[in-house]
Structure 1
Amino acid sequence: MAGYPKKDKNGTYYFVLEAGKDATGNRKRIKRRGFKKISEAKAAMAELMVELKKGNLMKEEKMSLGIYLDYWMENYVKTNLKPKTSAEYEKIIKKYLQPSLGHIMLNELKSTQLQNYYKEKLEVLSAQSVTHHHRVLSKALNDAIDWEFISKNVAKGAKPPRPIKREMNTHTGEQINLLLKTAREKTPVFYPIIFAVAHTGMRKSELIGLTWNNVDLKTEKIYIRQTITEANGKYFFNPIPKSEKPRGVKLTAELSKLLQILKEDHENRKNILGDSFNPHNLVFCNSKGNIMAPSEISRALKRALKAASLPDIRFHDLRHSHATILLKANVHPKIVSARLGHSKIQVTMDTYSHLTDSIEAIAVDQLDKLLQ
């Protein structure tokens, strides 16, 4: 959907605003041409928005939800939110909200139309995704009230689906060992990162963003100073806030050995291929030295699980497996919490509350041995 100045064949700028549909159901568009500079086109488009808001144009040319969402993206999202969040919002707006709801006039949007949208999208998306659409739209409509485009946020009257909490599936130590053995044979490129999550409990974004300058093989410790995330087909480097202390994770002896081998391999490849290989100095990269796509990592894990005839789990469940193995071994929850990077130990206790009975049983066994 247009709504941003573009350059035409003559070198001048123009813009087109979608203004909903006319009485016959045809789309109504407002087009303005002949601007020498993009800044002039932007200014004219902003003025037109104001006129639409005041109702000084023909009724057929009043603002559609699609026009407004373009305006909101340019005037709030891209200037106030982080690039990754902005990319996620843009994907939701361009791929879902505008195609389904963009033709509706902003001041004629009804809660029931949103309710129907949620029902429709639940057929192809998860409840959590649809709820996220609701939050984005609700925020956009709240801002529309602040800018005096509308007087009521109809999203408040709609009821988004309640997200279903994903069940935690974990593997035992024996299953993890079988998985790692199989991954080494079936998916060698992704084997190191699968090995690393099992031995550290780190998040996928933390592992993808780990660089060699944050690996200390002498002290056998790694430090999380950034993450790499993907949104709308783009990668984003997210450094931790300067006010936060980087989290350190102690390496197991086996992981330390693997990283040493991996480091030597990267150095050899860089000597042969030059700086074009692994330009971001990543610990875990694909065969070309580029960022590992989160979806590729997940697919590699599924291949290894299938080959090993193990129950299917998510990559994040390997993090849960790491924590579960430690807690069942009677490792203090504070240590587990620190390895996982939880803000508080209570987060760890709440997340793994289902282990309380088994942990307590271990404690009672110890008491039986110590007390008479």
Structure 2
Amino acid sequence: MEEKKMAGYPKKDDKSGTYYFVLENGKGVDGKRKRIVRKGFKKLGEAKEAMKKLMLEISNSENFEESNMSLSEYLIYWLENYAETNTKPKTFAEYEKIIKKHLQPSLGHILLYKLKSTQLQSYYKEKLEGLSAQSVLHHHRLLSKALNDAVDWEFINKNVAKGAKPPKPVKSEMKTLNVEQLNLLFKTAKGKSPTYFPVIYGAAHTGMRKSELMGLNWQNVDFTSNKLYITQTITEANGKYFFNPIPKGKKPRGLKLTAELSKLLKELKDEYVNLKKDLGKTYNPHNLVFCNSKGNIMAPSEITRALKRVLKAAGLPDIRFHDLRHSHASVLLSANIHPKIVSDRLGHSKIGITLDTYSHLTDSLEGLAVESLDELLD
């Protein structure tokens, strides 16, 4: 390949008193000289600095063009050379899923150095037809990080994701079930979905997150003190399960069991012991409290689908599984349980989080407090 000679020179425009530069960048295919002119610099030093920057960008662009690396090829390179060694296994699995299922099919054919912000903007719009704004925002953050690394590794000279505008997630509306609705839910779940009834019941009785319920094992259920302890979670990404212990030095969250939940867990424990005796160590190898009919980890999607089926069968409002956690908190706060107790059960780091999350309930509690004062004080 013939080497292109690039030369530039800054000059002063005597008429305006400002500075400009002319950049000569060889000849085009038509044989004419390729000349770039930039005007309007107040100082000679500014013109020189801008000229050097442009020369570097042109030089880099020519190198990028010769490399012909596609975005698809680069993202695989990024996964192998950054994500695999610098992120947690669950995070890596999530990145891999986003790249292989979404980014590669839609944008992978584009050459890395030719990728534009407008193409990312079109991609976000396309994905919003099937994904939530929060999910699309995750795609944007992954792309932004990967392209930042591409700049650091000198594959490209700028990160075009900075010019794209990802969607802003809308906070999901909290929906809760009252006591009567929860009791109907339990009754229906027991008959319609016996396998998933215990985890639905456990969520409403403890306020635990889905990942905490999935990760609860029998070693952390103490019937003597009538408490359970949260020491790990189980999460899923890209078809793989990940066991996540609580951070070192952090005290496991302990939850007092209701009488009815304690009774249910004792029944489950007896069933677990008998099946373990009959089927051996291969049954429920992780000793999970809540498992599917084969003794395996409950898939998050299956738990959600089971709840949806039960809600529909009971004629109850359509809620998310996470709303059972909100329902637990709402029932306690409506019963005038101190917010600090509720906060501890939910595992919030500060009571302020609980007060902010359930402000619509704490406002009504303040009304009850004022009514009490009216009765007590003259």
How far did residue 357 of structure 1 move?
Answer: 2.4
RMSD: 1.6
* Amino acid paired to 2:277: N
Q: Is the counterpart of residue 76 in structure 1 residue 82 in structure 2? A: yes
Q: Is the counterpart of residue 125 in structure 1 residue 131 in structure 2? A: yes
Q: Percent identity?
A: 73
Which position in structure 2 is the counterpart of 1:305?
311
Q: Which moved more, 1:352-361 or 1:250-259?
A: 352-361
Which position in structure 1 is the counterpart of 2:93?
87
Of residues 203, 207, 229 in structure 1, which corresponds to 2:235? Answer: 229
Q: Is the counterpart of residue 250 in structure 1 residue 247 in structure 2? A: no
- CA shift digits 1:103-131 (9 cap, x unpaired): 11111111111101111111111111111
Instruction: Tell me how far apart the structure 2 counterparts of residues 290 and 163 of structure 1 sit (CA, whole Å).
Output: 34
Q: Is the counterpart of residue 199 in structure 1 residue 199 in structure 2? A: no
How far did residue 334 of structure 1 move?
Answer: 1.0
* Amino acid paired to 2:97: K
Instruction: Tell me how far apart the structure 2 counterparts of residues 273 and 339 of structure 1 sit (CA, whole Å).
Output: 35
Instruction: Tell me how far apart the structure 1 counterparts of residues 194 and 84 of structure 2 sit (CA, whole Å).
Output: 40
* Amino acid paired to 2:114: E
Instruction: Tell me how far apart the structure 2 counterparts of residues 241 and 284 of structure 1 sit (CA, whole Å).
Output: 23
Q: Is the counterpart of residue 145 in structure 1 residue 145 in structure 2? A: no
How far did residue 66 of structure 1 move?
Answer: 1.0
Instruction: Tell me how far apart the structure 1 counterparts of residues 377 and 193 of structure 2 sit (CA, whole Å).
Output: 50
Instruction: Tell me how far apart the structure 2 counterparts of residues 139 and 59 of structure 1 sit (CA, whole Å).
Output: 22
Instruction: Tell me how far apart the structure 2 counterparts of residues 68 and 232 of structure 1 sit (CA, whole Å).
Output: 20
SS at match of 1:218: coil
Q: Is the counterpart of residue 355 in structure 1 residue 372 in structure 2? A: no
Which position in structure 1 is the counterpart of 2:222?
216
- CA shift digits 1:81-101 (9 cap, x unpaired): 010010000000011111111
* Amino acid paired to 1:348: T
Which position in structure 1 is the counterpart of 2:25?
none
Of residues 302, 318, 322 in structure 1, which corresponds to 2:324? Answer: 318
SS at match of 1:236: strand
Instruction: Tell me how far apart the structure 2 counterparts of residues 282 and 214 of structure 1 sit (CA, whole Å).
Output: 10
Of residues 341, 356, 375 in structure 2, which corresponds to 1:369? Answer: 375
* Contact kept in structure 1, 2:61 and 2:156, CA below 8 Å: no
Which position in structure 2 is the counterpart of 1:335?
341
Instruction: Tell me how far apart the structure 2 counterparts of residues 180 and 368 of structure 1 sit (CA, whole Å).
Output: 39
* Amino acid paired to 2:351: I
How far did residue 346 of structure 1 move?
Answer: 1.2
Which position in structure 2 is the counterpart of 1:157?
163
Instruction: Tell me how far apart the structure 2 counterparts of residues 59 and 85 of structure 1 sit (CA, whole Å).
Output: 32
Q: Which moved more, 1:347-356 or 1:228-237?
A: 347-356
SS at match of 1:248: strand
SS at match of 1:261: helix
Of residues 183, 204, 212 in structure 2, which corresponds to 1:177? Answer: 183
Q: Which has the larger radius of gyration?
A: 2
* Amino acid paired to 2:330: T
Instruction: Tell me how far apart the structure 2 counterparts of residues 97 and 357 of structure 1 sit (CA, whole Å).
Output: 45
* Contact kept in structure 2, 1:210 and 1:224, CA below 8 Å: yes
Give the TM-score normalised by the residue count of structure 1.
0.83
How far did residue 352 of structure 1 move?
Answer: 1.1
Instruction: Tell me how far apart the structure 1 counterparts of residues 236 and 75 of structure 2 sit (CA, whole Å).
Output: 23
Instruction: Tell me how far apart the structure 2 counterparts of residues 146 and 89 of structure 1 sit (CA, whole Å).
Output: 20
Of residues 110, 113, 126 in structure 2, which corresponds to 1:104? Answer: 110
How far did residue 249 of structure 1 move?
Answer: 0.8
Instruction: Tell me how far apart the structure 2 counterparts of residues 143 and 348 of structure 1 sit (CA, whole Å).
Output: 38
* Contact kept in structure 2, 1:305 and 1:311, CA below 8 Å: yes
Instruction: Tell me how far apart the structure 2 counterparts of residues 293 and 279 of structure 1 sit (CA, whole Å).
Output: 16
How far did residue 368 of structure 1 move?
Answer: 2.9
* Contact kept in structure 1, 2:333 and 2:362, CA below 8 Å: no
* Amino acid paired to 1:68: Y
Instruction: Tell me how far apart the structure 2 counterparts of residues 96 and 211 of structure 1 sit (CA, whole Å).
Output: 35
Unaligned 5+ runs, structure 2: 1-58
Of residues 257, 260, 267 in structure 1, which corresponds to 2:266? Answer: 260
Instruction: Tell me how far apart the structure 2 counterparts of residues 59 and 88 of structure 1 sit (CA, whole Å).
Output: 31
* Contact kept in structure 2, 1:221 and 1:248, CA below 8 Å: yes
Instruction: Tell me how far apart the structure 1 counterparts of residues 373 and 64 of structure 2 sit (CA, whole Å).
Output: 82
Give the TM-score normalised by the residue count of structure 2.
0.82
Matches within 5 A, 1:5-16: none
Instruction: Tell me how far apart the structure 2 counterparts of residues 151 and 59 of structure 1 sit (CA, whole Å).
Output: 12
Which position in structure 1 is the counterpart of 2:194?
188
Unaligned 5+ runs, structure 1: 1-52
Which position in structure 2 is the counterpart of 1:277?
283
